[in-house]
A and B are shown apart, each in its own frame.
Chain A
Amino acid sequence: MDSSAPYALNSEDDKRWKLNRRSGKLNKLSETFARQKNIIFVIFCVLFVFFWFGSSKISFSSASPKVVLILAVNEGGGVLKWKGEQEWAIERISIQNKRAYAKKHGYGLTLKDMRTARRYSHEYREGWQKVEILKQTMREFPDAEWFWWLDMETLIMEPEMSLDKHIFSRLDEISYRMLDEFNPLNLPLDIPYVDYSKPVDLLITQDCGGFNLGSFLIKNSEWSKLLLDMWWDPVCYEQKHMVWEHREQDALEALYAFQPWIREKTAFLPLRTINAFPPGACSEFENDPRFFYKETDHDFVVNMAGCSFGRDCWAEIQRYGSLLEASNRRWFRGLF
């Protein structure tokens, strides 16, 4: 054994040596790791503490959101009539939907209470609520760029789609600023002193009956703040409160019709981009494909507008909720 041992041993040493040379780099790395382990441990601890216990102010990831979703909840608030079980459920589904969406894309989400309040009960002040909530939210998020108002009876049907990809990056393509093609209110098409070269600060939609503010985007700008201030004026409202049944919507229509400084910064999105309707809304136009949610086209948002007026909100939200779940089902969900 001894006589043959050197060779055999040598060959084994040789092999080992070869192996060591190959893994040399890795070894070096692990060597440095071993030497610096104390420092690395300290760094790890610091990071751990940051991510685990650190307040959101310290951490690097939660810069103030560029887009803030405003969700109007608790409409009526059970002040004038009881809030039923289904209403609670609808609210929960709607909030959950927006929360998941905002979290996924790093947007902010703020829930705003729309309960009936005495201060808005006078006929001249009805509908001031939305405007005041917007003003308040702008103060709350001074660094946000855009605010997206959503009524409660809305569902985001394509949670994967970011607003940047869906709207802001192709704004020129999808938005329109002249009402020459679709003008349900027969507003004047062209008024003096409108400078259309100005960038857009307000993105709204039109349904079969005119402007729809169930889902709209407003930029955080000087212009927007002034608009929110001028939107409500007792002189206009005193003359029109019997006619303007859609309150702030009608008021905005009137402003858009005659005031060029408002018109030049307003653009329209097709209803189905951020505010598609279920068949029940705008029912007299049921053959018009411009208004209604279409599953195969993957419309972004569905808005059960006016479902509490003689339609079944609960059934509608269940229907779209199950659609949402089916279309966003992941393959691995089956495993659990």
Chain B
Amino acid sequence: MGLKPRVKTPSSSSGTRGWLTKATDSMMSSKQKKKQFTSVALLVGVVGLWWLFGGFLGSRSVKETWLPALHGPYKNEIQAPNPLIFPPTEHAPILRELDVKGLYILRIDVDENRKYVLKSDDEPMTDKERAAMTDQNKLVKKSFLDNGKLVYRKSSPQPEVIIVTMIDFDYYDVNTLTRIVQNRVNYAQRQGYGIYVRWAQEFVPMVEKQTVQESYDFFKPLIMRAAFHAFPHAKYFWYLDQDSLIMRMDLPLQRHLLDPKTLDVAVLRNVPIIKEGNIKTYKHFSTAHAGFILPQMQDGELGMSSFIIAPSLYSKSFLDYLSDPLVRDFYWKDLSSAVAHALQWHPPLLSRTALIVPKTIASIYEPGVSDAEGQNADTISYQEGDLVALFQGCRQRESCVSDIEALFAKVSG
């Protein structure tokens, strides 16, 4: 055939298409095609199997590393039977006799530094040992050391609010200590809350200045962190100082304060964190984010005798920060100034802090002053009907014991 004009018809055999098919056709018979198909299938199968088993082998070769389980200062823990964790107050006289030096090991290093140390792998006392123990002092000491090992891990009842209190056997007698604890127990039982009470002396070996007088304030972040650990599912932890009583058994904390709408009324917005300070609380604070609820007392100081913390990343970070020896041993006036510093320097913490009016959880009791006469009756002084009476200043007046006795009789009578 001669030259043909290029016509675009499907029947045209000239052009690249025809040439291409011809070429492939001549290269591959149908038999060859089959052969190729099987070889490709085989290859895919082998690769697939390799991948499958490789995955299995790979996962098996991951090395098992040992990591310590989540634990508190003590590695061994005791399951608490109910959400009311408190030490036996009747041990106070013997504990006072034993004193801190009888309760802990004193370690003296080469530089003559004396330090009480905590034995973190201390074994808890079994019931058998308890029954067999005849030496009363030993029993008291052992139960003192076991107090910090108590944790609540039951699924029901699951209290939402935990009241945290730290009691000092050196300052109060048995009767007063019992009143303080009984007051918390009564309230918690009525409202279905939990309580977490520890001896202040239990925290002595965890700090550097090892006396209750010097370090009581800085035991507070420690006991809160311990309470978080003891009640991992609770929503709120209310630290309430030993020099105070809950005066309204019928008033649940959630309805009284924690409900975002109620809290909204109590929150102080756009107020300086310290007196005449430049940094103020946020104007547009959302109460739903409130992780720390601190009363701002009348002198502008942050009240650290009664405050509420909701456990979260931020609250753990805040407590860990306050318990960092580098922070704790700075020459603060008190815990309140350390907290104020943290709030002023760390906006993520401030944005989760609600400063509230003190009347809500920190009314101050003034003995001998009747309700109407009180100078600051509306803003800060305790009046009948307030949830809490703080006996602030009772140590200077030396009236703590009588104050507690008087108001305890009122509330339980």
Q: Is B62 an interface residue (CB 8 A)?
A: yes
8 CB contacts below 8 A, A to B, read A16-B11, A16-B13, A20-B13, A173-B63, A178-B65, A236-B326, A259-B317, A261-B320
Q: Are B65 and A176 in contact (CB under 8 A)?
A: yes
Distance, CA A15 to CA B68, complexed state (A): 82
Q: Is B96 an interface residue (CB 8 A)?
A: no
Q: For residue A231, give the distance in angstroms from its CB to the closest CB of chain B.
A: 10
Q: Is B110 an interface residue (CB 8 A)?
A: no
Residues of A within 8 A of B65 (CB): 172, 176-178
Q: Are B67 and A19 in contact (CB under 8 A)?
A: no
Q: For residue B78, give the distance in angstroms from its CB to the closest CB of chain A.
A: 16
CB contact list, B177-192 vs A, under 8 A:
none
The total of interchain contacts (Cβ-Cβ below 8 angstroms) comes to 107
Q: Are B324 and A222 in contact (CB under 8 A)?
A: no
CB contact list, B237-285 vs A, under 8 A:
none
Residues of A within 8 A of B345 (CB): 233-234
Residues of B within 8 A of A176 (CB): 65
Q: Is B155 an interface residue (CB 8 A)?
A: no
Q: Is B235 an interface residue (CB 8 A)?
A: no
Q: For residue A35, give the distance in angstroms from its CB to the closest CB of chain B.
A: 12
Distance, CA A240 to CA B326, complexed state (A): 9
Residues of B within 8 A of A193 (CB): 70-72, 225, 228-229, 316, 320
Distance, CA A239 to CA B324, complexed state (A): 13
Residues of B within 8 A of A132 (CB): none
Q: Is A295 an interface residue (CB 8 A)?
A: no
CB contact list, A20-59 vs B, under 8 A:
20, 22-23, 26-28, 30-31, 34
Q: For residue A222, give the distance in angstroms from its CB to the closest CB of chain B.
A: 6
Q: Is B341 an interface residue (CB 8 A)?
A: yes
Q: For residue A274, give the distance in angstroms from its CB to the closest CB of chain B.
A: 19
CB contact list, B34-81 vs A, under 8 A:
61-63, 65-68, 70-73
Distance, CA A230 to CA B348, complexed state (A): 9
Q: Is B93 an interface residue (CB 8 A)?
A: no
Among B62, B72, B320, B323: residue with most chain A CB under 10 A: B320
The 10 closest A-B pairs by CB, nearest first: A259-B320, A196-B67, A23-B21, A195-B70, A261-B316, A258-B324, A192-B73, A19-B13, A16-B13, A27-B10
Q: Is B372 an interface residue (CB 8 A)?
A: no
If A229-B348, A261-B316 are given as contacts, then 10 extra A-B residue pairs at C-beta distance below 8 Å, sorted by A number, are A12-B1, A19-B13, A19-B22, A27-B17, A172-B62, A222-B313, A235-B330, A258-B324, A260-B320, A261-B317
Residues of B within 8 A of A30 (CB): 17
Distance, CA A28 to CA B10, complexed state (A): 8
Distance, CA A12 to CA B342, complexed state (A): 97
Residues of B within 8 A of A195 (CB): 70
Q: Are B10 and A235 in contact (CB under 8 A)?
A: no
Q: Among B17, B68, B71, B347, point to the contact of A23 (Cβ < 8 A).
A: B17
Q: Is B6 an interface residue (CB 8 A)?
A: no
Q: Is A223 an interface residue (CB 8 A)?
A: yes
- Known A-B contacts A19-B13, A27-B10, A31-B10; the reply to A229 vs B67 at CB < 8 A is no
Distance, CA A222 to CA B65, complexed state (A): 27
Q: Is A105 an interface residue (CB 8 A)?
A: no
- Known A-B contacts A259-B320, A260-B320; the reply to A20 vs B326 at CB < 8 A is no
A258 and chain B: residue at smallest CB distance: B324
Distance, CA A192 to CA B22, complexed state (A): 79
Q: For residue B10, give the distance in angstroms from its CB to the closest CB of chain A.
A: 5
Q: Are A235 and B17 in contact (CB under 8 A)?
A: no
Q: Are B317 and A239 in contact (CB under 8 A)?
A: no
B71 and chain A: residue at smallest CB distance: A192
Distance, CA A171 to CA B218, complexed state (A): 38
Distance, CA A190 to CA B68, complexed state (A): 8
Q: Is A161 an interface residue (CB 8 A)?
A: no
Q: Is A225 an interface residue (CB 8 A)?
A: yes
Q: Is A63 an interface residue (CB 8 A)?
A: no
Q: Are A226 and B18 in contact (CB under 8 A)?
A: no
Q: Are A196 and B68 in contact (CB under 8 A)?
A: yes
Residues of B within 8 A of A260 (CB): 316, 320
Residues of A within 8 A of B228 (CB): 193
Residues of B within 8 A of A239 (CB): 326, 330
CB contact list, A211-227 vs B, under 8 A:
222-223, 225-226
Q: Are B72 and A259 in contact (CB under 8 A)?
A: no
Instruction: Summarize B's interface: helix, strand, loop or mixed.
Output: helix
Residues of A within 8 A of B229 (CB): 192-193
B 107-125 binary contact with A (CB < 8 Å = 1; else 0): 0000000000000000000
A 110-151 binary contact with B (CB < 8 Å = 1; else 0): 000000000000000000000000000000000000000000
Q: Is B346 an interface residue (CB 8 A)?
A: yes
Residues of A within 8 A of B324 (CB): 236, 254-255, 258-259
Q: For residue B339, give the distance in angstroms from its CB to the closest CB of chain A.
A: 12
Q: Is A197 an interface residue (CB 8 A)?
A: yes
Residues of B within 8 A of A196 (CB): 67-68, 70
Q: Among A19, A192, A230, point to the contact of B18 (Cβ < 8 A).
A: A19
Q: Is A194 an interface residue (CB 8 A)?
A: yes
Residues of B within 8 A of A173 (CB): 61-63
B206 and chain A: residue at smallest CB distance: A192
Q: Are B70 and A258 in contact (CB under 8 A)?
A: no
CB contact list, A272-313 vs B, under 8 A:
none
Q: For residue B159, give the distance in angstroms from its CB to the closest CB of chain A.
A: 21
Residues of B within 8 A of A223 (CB): 313
Q: Are B317 and A226 in contact (CB under 8 A)?
A: yes
Among A22, A196, A230, A262: residue with most chain B CB under 10 A: A230
Q: Among A17, A20, A177, A226, point to the contact of B313 (Cβ < 8 A).
A: A226
Residues of B within 8 A of A259 (CB): 317, 320-321, 324
Q: For residue A196, give the distance in angstroms from its CB to the closest CB of chain B.
A: 4
Q: For residue A320, give the distance in angstroms from its CB to the closest CB of chain B.
A: 31
Q: Are B13 and A236 in contact (CB under 8 A)?
A: no
B 343-362 binary contact with A (CB < 8 Å = 1; else 0): 00111100000000000000
- Known A-B contacts A226-B348, A236-B327, A254-B326; the reply to A26 vs B17 at CB < 8 A is yes
Residues of B within 8 A of A178 (CB): 65-68
Residues of B within 8 A of A194 (CB): 68, 70
Residues of A within 8 A of B341 (CB): 235
Residues of A within 8 A of B20 (CB): 23, 26
